[in-house]
Amino acid sequence: MNEAGKKVAFYTLGCKLNFSETATISRSFKNEGFDRVDFSESADIYVINTCSVTENADKRFKTIVKQAQKVNPDAFVAAVGCYAQLKPEELADVDGVDLVLGATEKFKITDYLNDLSKNDMGEVHSCEIEDADFYVGSYSIGDRTRAFLKVQDGCDYKCTYCTIPLARGISRSDTLENVLNNAREISAKGIREIVLTGVNIGDYGKGEFGNKKHEHTFLDLVKALDQVEGIERLRISSIEPNLLKNETIVVVANSRAFVPHFHIPLQSGNNEMLGKMRRRYQRELYVDRVAQIKKLMPDACIGVDVIVGFPGETDEHFLDTYNFLNALDISYLHVFTYSERDNTLAAEMDGVVPLKVRKKRSKMLRGLSAKKRRAFYESQIGTQRTVLFEGENKKGYIHGFTENYVKVKAPWDPALVNTTHSIELKEIDDDGMVRFEYCTETTEVLA
C-alpha cells in the first residue's frame, strides 16, 4: 500500500511504554509513504493509542476523538492499545471511530488501511489475549533529549486491581542483542538519555510464546547496556521492589551511564492491604531496598507509586501507609486513586471506600509528595550535578533534569537544547524548580 502524500497524526494516552510503541507504529506509516503531522493539524488518519489504567483515561478517549473530528470530520479514526484490547466494542461504538485494533494487531495497523472511507460502525480486530505471546520491539525518539526504549511487555503477576495482563498478555522480552542494537541506533541519532521501559521490566529475560526460561536477567541487561558506547545517560523507568535485586543496585551505583534515580511501585504501606492486592512483597522488603539505594547512593532520587482507597482500606490502614511513607527516605510520590476495573478481583471485594474519602486520602498523599520533593531538592542545594536541557521554551525558560532528577530552570537559550552541563544547584524558585550556576570549567567552554 502506498499512500504517498497522505497525512497521519497520533495521540498517546498513558505510560512511557505507550509512547515508545506509538513511535514504532508511526515509523510503519512513514515506511508506507505517510507524512506525520501534529494531532492538532488536519490529517487523513488519526491514531489514538489508548490506556486503561485509570477511569480518567477511558473518558478522555471520547474527547480526543471529538478533537480529531473537529479538525477533519472526514478523517479515518483508529483506536489501538490497552483499552482497545479490553473494551473493543465500547470503543467501536464511539461516534467517529472507524477501526479498533487489539494487542497483537496494533503493530500491523497499515495492513488494515486498504480503504480509508468512513465506517458507519467501528470495525474491530482484537485477539484473545492468550494470543499476545510474541514480542515487538519499540523505541521512541520523538523528543531530541531522551528516548523511551521498550525491553519487555506483558505481565505474569496477578495483582487484584490490575487489567494490564488482560490488556497486554504474558510477560515476554526482547533479546539482549536487539535491545543493544536499538540502544546503539538511538545514541547514533545524538539522543543523550535512554529510559528503559516495559510493563514489568524487572522480569526481563522471559522468552516469547510462553517460554519462561530467562535467557538473560535484568541484571545482565543493565551490565550490557552500561558498556554501550555513545550513550550518555541510562534511566530505569519503574521496577517492582521484589525484582530490584541488591546486585542491580550495586551495578547502578558503580555504573558509567546509569543515573541514581529509581521509581519503585509500593501501592500500600500496610501489609494487610499488600496481601489483598496480591503484591509479591511486604513493606519490610521495601524499606530494605530504599536503605540499600541510599547507602550506596545518598543523593539518589526515589519515586513511589501508591494507591489510595483500595477496597477494605480503613482510616487505620491509610494512616499506616501515610506514616510509613512519611518516615521513608524517598523523593516524590505518584498517587493513584483506586478505581474499579471490570474483570478484576478487587472490583468484587467488600469494603468499598466512598469516593469522597478516596479523594481526601489522595489529596493528603499529594501534599506529602510536595513536602518530600521539596526536602529532597533542599538536600541537593550546594551540590554539583550534570543537567541535560530539554527542547521547549516554557514561558521564557528552558528546563532540564539533573542525573538524580532535580528539575532546574534557566532563561531560554536555544543553544542549550539537548546539551549537558556541569552546574551547582543554588536555590529553589517560587515554582519549585531549582536555579543554578554553571561550574567554572563549563563557563569557560561556553565562552
The tens digit of pLDDT for each residue in 8-22 reads 999 988 777 888 888
Closest C-alpha to 168, from 194, 191, 199, 192: 199
**Residue 264 scores a pLDDT above 90:** yes
Q: How confident is the model at residue 121 (pLDDT cuts 50, 70, 90)?
A: low
Q: Mean pLDDT throughout 262-283?
A: 96
Interval 218-246: pLDDT, tens: 999 999 999 998 889 999 989 999 999 99
**Residue 446 scores a pLDDT above 70:** no
Q: Mean pLDDT throughout 251-266?
A: 96
The grid cell for 446 is 561556553
| Distance (Å) of CA 419 to CA 196, 306, 386 | 21, 34, 10
Residues in the chain: 447
The pLDDT value recorded for residue 15 is 76
**Residue 4 scores a pLDDT above 90:** no
**Residue 442 scores a pLDDT above 80:** no
More confident residue, 207 or 283: 283
The pLDDT value recorded for residue 295 is 97
**Residue 115 scores a pLDDT above 70:** no
Interval 63-113: pLDDT, tens: 999 999 999 998 999 999 888 888 888 888 888 888 999 877 888 888 877
The pLDDT value recorded for residue 165 is 83
Percent of the chain with pLDDT strictly greater than 70? 90
Closest C-alpha to 57, from 47, 46, 49, 66: 49
The pLDDT value recorded for residue 129 is 60
The grid cell for 331 is 523523593
Q: How confident is the model at residue 258 (pLDDT cuts 50, 70, 90)?
A: very high
The pLDDT value recorded for residue 135 is 63
Q: How confident is the model at residue 143 (pLDDT cuts 50, 70, 90)?
A: low
Interval 167-200: pLDDT, tens: 888 899 999 999 999 999 898 888 889 999 998 9
**Residue 132 scores a pLDDT above 80:** no
Interval 389-412: pLDDT, tens: 988 888 899 999 999 999 999 999
What is the 3-state secondary structure of the chain? CCCCCCEEEEEECCCHHHHHHHHHHHHHHHHCCCEEECCCCCCCEEEEEECCCCHHHHHHHHHHHHHHHHHCCCCEEEEEEHHHHHCHHHHHCCCCCCEEECCCCHHHHHHHCCCCCCCCCCEEECCCHHHCCCCCCCEECCCCCEEEEECEECCCCCCCCCCHHHHHCCCEECCHHHHHHHHHHHHHCCCCEEEEECCCHHHCCECCCCCCCECCCHHHHHHHHHCCCCCCEEEECCCCCCCCCHHHHHHHHCCCCECCEEEEEEECCCHHHHHHHCCCCCHHHHHHHHHHHHHHCCCCEEEEEEEECCCCCCHHHHHHHHHHHHHCCCCEEEEEECCCCCCCCHHHCCCCCCHHHHHHHHHHHHHHHHHHHHHHHHHHCCCEEEEEECCCCECCEEEEEECCCCEEEEECCHHHCCCEEEEEEEEECCCCCEEEEECHHHHHHHC
More confident residue, 299 or 123: 299
**Residue 151 scores a pLDDT above 60:** yes
Determine the Cα–Cα distance for residues 342 and 163; give it in Å rounded to an integer: 8
Q: Mean pLDDT throughout 308-326?
A: 97
Q: How confident is the model at residue 445 (pLDDT cuts 50, 70, 90)?
A: very low
| Average pLDDT, rounded, for the chain | 88
| Distance (Å) of CA 387 to CA 189, 250, 391 | 19, 23, 13
Interval 24-70: pLDDT, tens: 888 888 888 899 999 999 999 999 998 876 666 667 888 999 999 99
Interval 378-388: pLDDT, tens: 999 999 999 99
